Structure 1
Amino acid sequence: MLTLFRWLVRLSVVLIAGAVLVVGLVWYFSIRSLPDYNADYTVAGLAAPVEIVRSTENVPHIFGSNDADLFLALGLAHAQDRLFQMTVLRRAADGRLSELYGARAYAADDLARRLGLARRAKESLAAQDDYTRAALTAYAEGVNQWIQIVNREARGRGAPEFFLYPEDIAYWQAADSLAILKLLASGSTAALRNEVLRARLSLALPRRGPQVVSQAGEADLPDYASLFPGGRLAAPGTAPAPEDDWFNWRAGFVAPAAERPASGAVFAADAARTAAGGALLADAIDTGLTAPSLFYLARLELASGGVIGATIPGVPVVLSGRSATLAWGIAPAQIDDQDVLVEEVQPGDSERYRDLDGWRAFDTRREVIRVRGDDDQVLTLRESVNGPIIPAGHLGLAGVLPAGHVAALSWTGLSTTDTTMSALMGLMRAPDRAAAGKALQGIVAPAVEVSLADAGGVTRQLAGARPVRSESHATHGRMPAPGWIAANRWQGVLPPEAPQDVAGQIVAATGETGAAPGPDAPRAARLQALLSSREVHSRDSFIDAQLDIISPVARALLPLVGAELWFADEPAPSGTPERLRQDALGLLAEWDGSMSEHLPEPLIYAAWMAELQRRLIRDELGPVADEVTQLHPGFIDRVFRNTGGAGAWCDVIQSAPVETCAMIARQALDAALQDLSTRFGPAVASWRWGAVHEARHVHPALGRAPGLGFIVNLRQPVSGGDATMAASPPLGRGPQRWSAVTGAGYRGVYDMADPDSSVFVTSTGQSGHPLSRHYDDLSALWRRGEYITMSLDPDLARAAAEGVTHLRPQDGAAGN
């Protein structure tokens, strides 16, 4: 027995020592990939020495003697801090995620290949101007130089995530940056998904179904089934494939896989409306909350002058920021830039489809998708004159396609002569608003609203390709339409808009560009009210507006929905459902609409409205109602005002009595309160919005891995909601439906009266390395509504430098 005990002790010691050794090796190789910011490197491609000065917050300030060298250094800096993020973004655009993640990413790759983002990006390279092509080439060389340094010095493969995947790190190409830009364009629109949803709602409830997601002022839509007389359509309950399509994978990098697109808010005031006598501009860009953030702060000292602001790893431009003389901010323009056109396949010949004047062959090509741990898959990709063919298995298309038909996608982002990168390069180098406005005319996709501010004033401009539709289009581009009818096809694109000078005014944009109010209309109205509330503004008042957490939707809906419920009953005994309702209504009656994480009212309001919308539509739409995951306040408003007879939604069609809207409102409130009391106890005043409304910054690769997710993901309670200026809309589905998965990935406020007092911040930190202190050091500031200074003063950058990286040309190059 003693001998057995000794052997067990020895075995335990060996196992413990082995575990310690493994942990030690993992730790050693992980920290090997942390970059040394004080190193000197000799790199190919440089014409002269370059300095990368890292501020306290790890913001690189890049100084050199020519622009090509600066872009090379930016590529190296991006790769130092975000190499894994860059490669995953590139794979997402290329349709090569399956090589890392296996079969679960196959559907994403399938759709990415059919869209052909990488192929179209390569074709667009020739359309860029000479400066942009040179910049992209230099940037790619900088990324590749860092990959070579990592390999040469055995620096842990450049990021610890690479140890989990056997694939080699491919060298960067100039077209890769263009492909990522097209990926970003796909995140700026939800038009395709919403077209399919409207069609499914129409099939579930002809005439009335699309009312749920339509906005006031939009033209009535036809019954979807009437567009295909005699066509056999799937049952309306046919649901999209769960969590496996391109848009869900895209959510990990760019935007939410939901009914609404990426958004943002940019607003500006010229010198006449500011206390300091200089223009002000504020910009918040909403994206999926990832760890690390999509954005990376950087400063470049170009030949045209210094620029500083938000970049995206893989894309060598400052998307939002300032120079010494100009500030610019962008918000995705919520235009309808996608159309689904249904093509009729020739009976007996799946390679042909109906065109305007007869049958025509699809353009066909084949590609191979490598799937980790599985067989390679050969794809046959088809295109019609209306765009690439999207298989019925994606995005719920199976539920809206008649038998013998396929779906083609028309989208401005599919352009093969896309000059958006050149336009952004021109914007970054523009000395004033006039030059910037001229550069912006080259933007194709994504369409954006841009505000510009300089010493002369403020300009607002809509930039990007906007399709022209015929007035006789069957669905006005809001539902799929027959592709063989000429009136349903695009009639071209509108010419670029001229800049609008807004002297003496304050301009605001949240992406609302259409004649009918869109999903961000309440947010836009709140912003306009905040900006109009005072005659002059300061940097601090702009910050306050950017961080505002008052919900205009809550202020508008609660008096309407609860009109017959406030103080309608005698006080009820404690512990009863009636008392619970009275306590909740008592709190809401005194609430100002502040979506503070520390209050119970936002939680009560959000749960009530979600349950109310579900009860209004579930009995009539059936399973399709599960796909309406976001709150549609315009629909609830029309129902409770009985606009156009919309009050009929309150009646439950399966029951004999006729329910009123007040009855449904009370039942929805009771059901919501019962659920909340089960989770948080009966003391309504002790509930907190922040208990369920957490910002979830999820690592796209490791965030769902057991154990690793605890290390790489960031979770923090946040204020705000889907209609507040500090936007943090809840997911809207699943057990974590109140979690915020989108928000302002970047915030900046630019003060042209004192440019170096301008401020910015991202939602996580500069580094993508989980063991770096800069992985999450900005997230606490972001949550508290704080910022860091964005100065172009080189002495200030060097004085507070965390490190200075020196890049030197190889022997024989200029400058040695």
Structure 2
Amino acid sequence: MQLLFRWLLRFAAGLILLSVLGLSLIYFLAAQSLPDYDKEIALPGLLAPVEIVRDNANVPHIFGSYGASDEDVYFGLGYAHAQDRLWQMTVLRRTAKGRLSEIFGSRTVPVDTLVRRLDIYRLAQQSVSAQTPEAMTALQAYSAGVNARLQEINDDALGRGAPEMFLFNVPMAPWQPADSIALMKLMALKLSGHMQEEILRARVSLALPDPERLRDILPDAPGKGIAALPEYAALFPSLNRHAAATAPFPDLPLMPIAPRGQAGASNAWAAAPNRSAAGGTLLANDPHLELTAPGIWYLARLELGTGGIIGATIPGIPAVLTGRSDLMGWGVTSSYMDDQDLFIEQLNPENPEEYLTPDGYKRFETRPSIINIKGETPVTLTLRWTDNGPVMPRSLFNLGSITPPGHVISLGWTGLSPQDTSVSAALALMRANSVEEAIEIGEGFIAPSQNITLADRNSIALKTVGAIPARDARHQSQGRLPSQGWRAENRWLGRAPYAANPEFVEPVGGILGNTNNKLLDRPFPNHVSFEWGDTQRINRWQRLMQDRQVHTRDSFIEAQLDTVSYTARTLLPLIGADLWFTGEAAAEGTRERQRQIALSLLSEWNGEMNEHLPEPLIYAAWVRALQKRLITDDLGPLEAEFKHVDPLFLERVYRNVQGAAEWCDVRQSAPRETCTDIARLALDDALIWIEETYGTALESLRWGDAHQATQNHEVLGEVPFLRVFLNITQSTSGGDNTLQRGRTSGEAPTPFHNVHAAGYRGVYDFADPDSSVFILSTGQSGHFLSRHYDDMSQLWRRGEYIPMSLDEDLARAAAVGITRLLPVN
């Protein structure tokens, strides 16, 4: 026995020793790719020396020496991006090329298939020739900077440039200008959501027993609506109504098309000098995107010949996309412009290689494309294009359920332009010195469409940029449903004039802003969009802006961080109208007692979605359960597509707008349920779920325990052990409809996790530009061993910022390192 014990002890000690050695080796290999920020290195491609000064938040301030050009500064940005975010750039480029399966295997084949069919990278290559000479110079210099870092990694054996490179065999080809253009197109795809809306509208139209109820569950934004649409089934009688009620489209890893409701959102607002306490213009911006680790944004300062530029970039694109110079600031919000249409294409029964056009049958444009798959046989696709756009896979978002027999569906999208000058426009915008100049430059943006909020020293403006498709006034569905592609009135007529894009310059009230709300009301086809990203936050924003005669940088920060839910204040009095303070006293531990405690808490709540309060969790669980009860019997499996509560739908039902209270009756039951009945049952559903998940002590609940910001590594975030080091999770305030927006996942078992929020916040004060501030939700580095991987995350959570200064002395005084890039000769 003693001998056995001794050998077991030796075996255990050996295992521990091997584990320690293994972990030490892993750490050693991973640490080799940590960038050295304090060095001097000679690199090919530079014309003159460049300094990259890293301030204490690891924001690179890139300065050219005497004799250096802007070309050298862009080289420095490419080098800095590749130092900190090489893996992220690699994955983004492979996504845009449809080449993920070469390293990730069969699980990403559907993503590669989609991107290949859209032909994003070939269109980017064709768009290279459309760039301005200045933009081409910047793109080429940036590419040279990235490639210089790649050569340095190879020459000096710097751990392949990123820890992930050890886990995946990822040959890294040199960076090219087309790569940056492709990444801009990829962002446009992430920010476009009208295709998903058309598909869902068609499926709901087919599934609902009463087509009149379509306007309830998919309501228009407040304001003048449109004339009645044709029923989708009437357009295509051969469709099976029940086929539309299929299971939701599964989430796919690295899918570049965002789930419905998460295509893009943002806040931006500005104040003119007469509404600013210090007499200078003010601008605030916080773009909302999917939360990941690392985040999509990367802070940088460029010292160009025209002056300093500082703000947020996307690794792989050599432009500050939201930021400021000494003279002007710009912020971006998703415009929700209707830049996508689906077309039902009729195949020739005699020849399926042809489709019907207004002039008869025509052959598809076709081209083979081979997807190489790690460890498996390659897949050969036949890419098909019509006059309207590429033919989409039937599996995408359940397109097959709305495709009639003998037909296919193609996609029209402005991002499919082979002459896309969006990158040139973004680079030119950084040099603009006035609102007027910036608006003129905006004509070069094609996709994504954005609202750009502008502020120079004296004036403010908001302009929608991006190509608006010109549609025929006779369009069958006005772009809200897939339409018959062979009818001339459904086809696009080119691009609408840039002057038709919404524009607001120097408003009389001195304040303007956008929360993805409806900007204007114009009749189709000059309408811009029927789908808008916000009907709620805008109400709270108006209140905060009008409560003050003048604003300051701090009041703009306060508005960015505001967590009061206008939605909760509106809905609770409606859904609980017959429940407040009713019923007899109930015994401790009974369902009636829990309901009374919940209602008592909510009755005294001001709607603040604070992470430390119980009321936000009770409210959120209640309205989620309520919507589910209202729609499940009518929509069946389609109910799963409605992952988020639509406040307009609940308001229509509980105000009985145009008979919407009909949703409260459960069709499959004999009794006729009232809306009060459903509200009470839904509250019980919510309380049961809360008790099972968080316990029975309602007063001790914390919204932040449910509303955790989950910033996960996109590839390795689900891998046991690794996720502990790679994922950034923290309790947060806010919610779906607060200005400090934290969009919830809507999916069990964590429906209230915060997955889509402001990964960047910035507030710019032109009375004192160097008092401007900004922040990221993670950190600058994509390397999990770097202290800059998540060093901003707690600041972001607490609503704090870091200085956004163009003061060179300040950057140097707090530098964590200075990299001197020298020409080889």
Q: What does the per-residue CA deviation read over 1:272-315, in whole Å, with 9 as the maximum and x for residues that have no partner?
A: 10011100000000001000110000000000110000001001
For 1:223, the equivalent position in structure 2 comes to 231
Is the counterpart of residue 198 in structure 1 residue 201 in structure 2? Answer: yes
Q: Assess if the C-alpha contact under 8 Å between 2:213 and 2:660 holds in 1.
A: no
Instruction: Give the 3-state SS of the residue equivalent to 1:747 in structure 2.
Output: strand
**Partner of 1:136: helix, strand, or coil?**
helix
- Give matches, 1:125-274, under 5 Å: 125-205=128-208, 206-208=210-212, 210-211=214-215, 212-216=217-221, 217-219=224-226, 220-231=228-239, 235-244=243-252, 249-250=254-255, 256-274=258-276
Q: Give matches, 1:301-380, under 5 Å.
A: 301-380=303-382
Correspondence 1:109 to 2:112: yes
Look up the equivalent residue of 1:224 and give its one-letter code. Y
Partners of 1:294 and 1:312 within 8 A in 2: yes
| Aligned mates of 2:700, 2:553 — CA distance in 1 | 36
Instruction: Report the CA distance between 1:478 and its aligned residue.
Output: 1.1
Distance 2:340 2:212 in 1: 23
* SS state at 1:389 partner: coil
Amino acid in structure 2 at the alignment position of 1:349: N
Secondary structure of the 2:77 match is helix
Matched, 1:705 2:719: yes
Q: Which aligned pairs between 1:49-88 and structure 2 lie closer than 5 A? A: 49-64=49-64, 65-88=68-91
Counterpart secondary structure, 2:396:
coil
- Equivalent position of 2:21 in the other structure: 21
CA contact (8 A) 1:256 1:742 kept: no
Distance of 2:531 and 2:98 partners within structure 1? 35
Q: Structure 2 CA distance, aligned partners of 1:563 and 1:765? A: 46
- For the pair 1:796 / 2:810, whether they are aligned, the reply is yes
Q: Which residue of 1 aligns with 2:619?
A: 605
Q: Are the structure 2 counterparts of residues 240 and 378 from structure 1 closer, same or farther at C-alpha, using a change threshold of 3 Å? A: farther
1:342 & 1:134 partners in 2: Cα distance? Answer: 42
Question: What SS does the corresponding residue of 1:721 show, helix, strand or coil?
Answer: coil
Change (3 A) 1:86 1:747: same
Counterpart contact for 2:41–2:820, Cα < 8 Å: yes
From 633, 652, 667, the equivalent of 2:666 is: 652
What does 1:522-541 align with in structure 2 at a 5 Å threshold? 522-541=536-555
Q: After superposition, what is the alpha-carbon deviation per residue over 1:611-638, rounded to whole angstroms, capped at 9, x for unaligned?
A: 1111111001111111111111111111
8 Å CA contact retained: 1:238, 1:398:
no
1:45 aligns with 2:45: yes
Q: Where does 1:411-450 land on structure 2 (aligned, <5 Å)?
A: 411-450=413-452
Shift of 1:263: 0.6
Deviation of 1:196 after TM superposition, in Å, equals 0.5
The answer to whether the 8 A contact 2:191-2:258 is kept is no
Q: Distance in 1 between matches of 2:569 and 2:240?
A: 45
Cα contact 1:260–1:519 (8 A) shared by 2 = no
With over 3 angstroms needed to count, the CA separation of the structure-2 counterparts of 1:274 and 1:441, relative to structure 1, is: same
For residue 444 of structure 2, give the secondary structure of its aligned residue in structure 1: coil
- In 1, distance between residues paired with 2:350 and 2:687? 58
CA distance in 1, matches of 2:629, 2:229: 24
Q: CA contact under 8 A between 2:514 and 2:538: conserved in structure 1?
A: yes
1:508 corresponds to which residue?
A: 513
Q: Distance in 2 between matches of 1:232 and 1:567?
A: 48
In 1, distance between residues paired with 2:621 and 2:281?
Answer: 41
Aligned equivalents of 1:397 and 1:190: distance in 2?
15
Q: Which residue of 2 aligns with 1:459?
A: 461
Report the 3-state secondary structure (helix = DSSP H, G, I; strand = E; otherwise coil) of the residue aligned with 2:361. strand
Query: Is this contact kept in 2: 1:466–1:494, CA < 8 A?
Result: yes
CA contact (8 A) 1:422 1:442 kept: yes
**When the two structures are aligned, how many residues end up with a matched partner?**
805
Q: How far apart are the structure 1 equivalents of 2:190 and 2:469?
A: 18
List alignment gaps of at least 5 residues for structure 2.
522-529
Is the CA contact 2:248–2:638 (under 8 Å) kept in the aligned structure 1?
Answer: no
CA distance in 1, matches of 2:404, 2:242: 7
Say which of 587, 591, 601 aligns to 2:605.
591
Deviates more, 1:678-687 or 1:710-719: 678-687
1:354: Cα distance to partner?
0.9
SS of the aligned residue for 2:139 comes to: helix
Provide the residue aligned with 1:814 in structure 2.
none
Offset of 1:107 from its aligned partner?
0.3
> Do the aligned partners of 1:690 and 1:717 also contact (CA within 8 Å) in 2?
yes
1:8: how far off?
5.2
**Contact conserved, 2:262 with 2:289, CA < 8 A, in 1?**
no
Separation of aligned partners in 1, 2:108 and 2:262: 23
State the secondary structure of the residue aligned to 2:743. coil
Q: Is the 8 A contact 1:473 1:487 kept in 2?
A: yes
Contact in 2 for aligned 1:199/1:210 (Cα 8 Å): no
Aligned partner of 1:287: which letter?
L
Instruction: Compare 428-437 and 593-602 and name the one that shifted more.
Output: 428-437
Unaligned runs of 5+ in 1: 812-816
**Any idea what SS the aligned residue of 1:387 has?**
coil
Q: 1:233, 1:403 within 8 Å by CA — same for their partners in 2?
A: no
Q: TM-score, normalised by structure 1?
A: 0.96
Residue by residue over 1:41-90, the C-alpha shift from the partner in whole angstroms, topping out at 9 and shown as x without a partner, is 10111110000000000000000021000001100000000000011011
* DSSP 3-state at the match of 1:235: helix
1:738 aligns with 752
Matched, 1:33 2:36: no
Deviation by residue 1:726-758 (Cα, 9 ceiling, x = unmatched) = 110111112111111110010000000000000
- In the alignment, the residues of structure 1 paired with residue 788 and residue 668 of structure 2 have an alpha-carbon distance, to the nearest angstrom, of 57
CA distance in 2, matches of 1:93, 1:585: 50
Q: Is the 8 A contact 1:308 1:322 kept in 2?
A: yes
1:714 to 717, 721, 728: 728
Q: Cα distance, 1:775 vs. partner?
A: 0.2
- Residues in 1 aligned to 2:139 and 2:73: alpha-carbon distance in whole angstroms: 11
112-121 or 14-23, larger mean C-alpha shift: 14-23
AA aligned to 2:259 is: A
TM-score by length of 2: 0.95
Distance 1:19 1:694 in 2: 33
For 1:44, give the aligned amino acid: P
| Superposition map of 1:460-609 within 5 A | 460-497=462-499, 499-503=503-507, 505-512=510-517, 513=519, 515=521, 518-609=532-623
The answer as to whether partners of 1:198 and 1:209 remain within 8 angstroms in 2 is no
Equivalent of 2:284 in 262, 278, 282: 282
SS in 2 for 1:776: coil
- Alpha-carbon distance in 1 for matches of 2:17, 2:606: 60
**Structure 1 residues 496, 403: closer, same or farther in 2, change over 3 A?**
same
Alignment RMSD (CA, Å): 1.6
Aligned partners of 1:95 and 1:109 also within 8 Å:
yes
Matched AA of 2:504: Q
1:692-739 Cα deviation digits (max 9, x unpaired): 110000101111112111110010010001110011011111211111
Conservation of the 8 A alpha-carbon contact between 1:234 and 1:398: no
1:226 Cα deviation after fit: 0.5
Instruction: Determine the C-alpha separation between the residues in 2 that align with 1:273 and 1:58.
Output: 34
Amino acid at match of 1:640: Y
Question: CA–CA distance in 1 between the matches of 2:535 and 2:469?
Answer: 22
Q: Is the 8 A contact 1:256 1:741 kept in 2?
A: no
Distance 1:350 1:572, change over 3 A: same
User: What letter corresponds to residue 748 of structure 2 in structure 1?
Assistant: G
Partners of 1:443 and 1:793 in 2: how far apart? Answer: 31
Distance 1:5 1:262, change over 3 A: same
What do residues 387-428 of structure 1 show as CA deviations (whole Å, max 9, x unaligned)? 000011111101111111111000111111111111111110
- 1:785 paired to 2:799: yes
SS at match of 2:323: strand
Q: Residues 701 and 514 of structure 1: is their aligned pair in 2 closer, same or farther, counting only changes over 3 Å?
A: farther
